[in-house]
Amino acid sequence: MDILLTALASDISSRVISFLVAKYRKQNTMDKMIRLHRLLLRAFTIIEEVDGRYISNQGMLLQLRQLRIVMYKGHYVLDTFKGQAEVSRSFNLNKIQVIIENLESMMEVLPIIGPQEIGKKTLVEHVLNEKMVKRKFSCIICLNRDGLRNLLGDGSPIEQNNLIYSNGKCLIVVELQHDNDLIAWRRFQYSLSMIKFVSKVILISSVQGVSRLGTTQALRLKKMRKDEFWYFFKTLSFGSTNPDEHRELIPIAMKIAVLINRDFIGAHVFSRLLRTNRNAQFWRRMLLFLNKEIECNLHVFGEHVSDIVGSNRPYYVLSNRDDAPHIWCTSSNTIPGHLVDWGSTIITMEGIMSESVALPTEGNFQVIRWQSPIAPYYSYISNCEIRKVSQVVSEEKCPKRNRRL
């Protein structure tokens, strides 16, 4: 069966690749699109079949990866054609397997590097819950920057964590958020070197320099490619509805996907809102909202809003109404869902975008940008306050009128 699936994956990959480089030149455009659609259906069937099985054959995994890549590209070409004529994120089990295999090897320090809010901590949580990992390590300790500094501030981290009394190997996960965290890590690393049974460490960071701290090659998480992101966003936005039944929405969705800038959380926030109202006017309104917010932050800070939020710096959230005050978000943080204080003043980003919530007239409040449906159910929260338009920037810097898209 595995040999058959491999052969099918290889065959479909070759055909889709041939299609994308215009091998079938004698066919007209519509015939090509019909043929591509059939190939993509076959590709999806094979991938769905294989996803439910454990595959160890590296050759087959390579073929399946190639098949996924060409399937994303094929969908992008097909949807672009449709637009001119008129994905909940699953965790990459291959990446989890790579981490487990590294932990089983002679590796001592494994860095996991990637942009902010790409899913590094959630990926590690899934690794730590693997039975194989729990059996191998009798002690698992997770430290963020505050925990690391507290350990170093009051004495020996060995004594405070009772590692000296551990009877087996310990796995330590350390999150390094900024360049200055590297100093604390080096001090902590020196302490670890004194304990022979503490031989496995995972470093989580968005700081590229952390990759040099590993004793093995860093595992890098990257943003999805343009075609991958479009397939992901389209799947989330249309849900179980067939996009072909709403062809007028596809070009609007493609513009929104481009403006989101391959931001994973942004894709979830917008798609969930779009699913509630499959009306072209509503989707255009969301497109204008997004464009206006991006323009304002570009004018004020010179960066895309998704890059600003990801680096935990202040940013603005705007309303669709010209007379509405701006929301000034001073900082962002990520906490497990069970630690969210729902008794305080909390507003969802969806509520702001759809104007379905009443904003406070003064004082501080929290905005939940998104809550992950995957354990440990992280909530992505921004700490905000209301500012009048006159407090923000001049009209030239933060345009009150939306540009026509």
Contacts of 110 (CB under 8 A, 6+ apart): 99, 102, 103, 200, 201, 202, 203, 214, 215, 216, 218, 219
pLDDT bin (cut points 50, 70, 90) of residue 6 is low
Mean pLDDT of 126-131: 84
Which residue has tokens 């729990």? Answer: 134
pLDDT bin (cut points 50, 70, 90) of residue 141 is confident
pLDDT at 94: 55
The DSSP letter of residue 176 is: E
Mean pLDDT of 187-201: 69
pLDDT at 400: 44
pLDDT bin (cut points 50, 70, 90) of residue 159 is very low
Question: In what helix (H) or strand (E) does residue 205 lie, and over which residues does it extend?
Answer: strand 200-205
For the chain, the residue count is: 405
pLDDT at residue 250 tops 90: yes
Backbone angles phi, psi at 380, to 5 degrees: -105, 110
Q: Whose CA is closest to 378, among 342, 329, 339, 345?
A: 339
**Structural domains in the chain plus CATH codes:** 1-85 (no CATH), 93-220 (3.40.50.300), 223-405 (no CATH)
State how far the Cα of 38 lies from the Cα of 48, in Å rounded to an integer: 16
pLDDT at 246: 92
User: Within its chain, how far is the Cα of 360 from the centroid?
Assistant: 30
Report the 3 state secondary structure along 302-350. Answer: CCCHHHHHHCCCCEEECCCCCCCCEEEEEEEEEEEHHHCCCCCCEEEHH
pLDDT at residue 86 tops 70: no
pLDDT at 298: 93
Q: Are 67 and 43 in contact (CB under 8 A)?
A: yes
pLDDT at residue 193 tops 70: no
State how far the Cα of 122 lies from the Cα of 125, in Å rounded to an integer: 5
pLDDT at residue 162 tops 60: no
State how far the Cα of 374 lies from the Cα of 397, in Å rounded to an integer: 39
State how far the Cα of 65 lies from the Cα of 57, in Å rounded to an integer: 12
The residue ranking higher by pLDDT, 80 or 23, is 80
Q: Indicate the range of 86-95, 186-195, 295-304, 371-380 predicted with least confidence.
A: 86-95
Greatest mean pLDDT range, 14-23, 144-153, 248-257:
248-257
Q: What is the DSSP string of 16-36?
A: HHHHHTT--TTS-HHHHHHHH
pLDDT at 131: 83
pLDDT at 261: 93
State how far the Cα of 297 lies from the Cα of 105, in Å rounded to an integer: 46
- Cis? peptide before 376, omega within 30° of 0: yes
pLDDT at 149: 72
pLDDT at 107: 44
The residue ranking higher by pLDDT, 15 or 134, is 134
pLDDT bin (cut points 50, 70, 90) of residue 150 is confident
pLDDT at residue 130 tops 70: yes
For the chain, the helix, strand and coil percentages under 3-state DSSP, each to the nearest 5:
55, 15, 30
State how far the Cα of 38 lies from the Cα of 386, in Å rounded to an integer: 52
The angle formed by the CA atoms of residues 378, 382 and 385, to the nearest 5 degrees, is: 155
pLDDT at 336: 77
Which residue has tokens 């600003």? Answer: 308
Which residue has tokens 């479009």? Answer: 230
In terms of DSSP bridges, do strands 326-336 and 346-348 run parallel, antiparallel, or are they unpaired? Answer: unpaired
Q: Is the dihedral of CA 352, 357, 359, 365 positive or negative?
A: negative
Tokens at 293, concatenated: 């917010």
- Tens of pLDDT along 305-329? 988 887 778 999 987 676 777 889 9
The residue ranking higher by pLDDT, 4 or 271, is 271
pLDDT bin (cut points 50, 70, 90) of residue 262 is very high
Among residues of the chain, what percentage have pLDDT more than 70?
69
State how far the Cα of 331 lies from the Cα of 70, in Å rounded to an integer: 39
State how far the Cα of 155 lies from the Cα of 152, in Å rounded to an integer: 6
State how far the Cα of 138 lies from the Cα of 374, in Å rounded to an integer: 25
| Beta sheet of 364-371, edge-to-edge order | 315-317, 326-336, 378-387, 364-371, 346-348
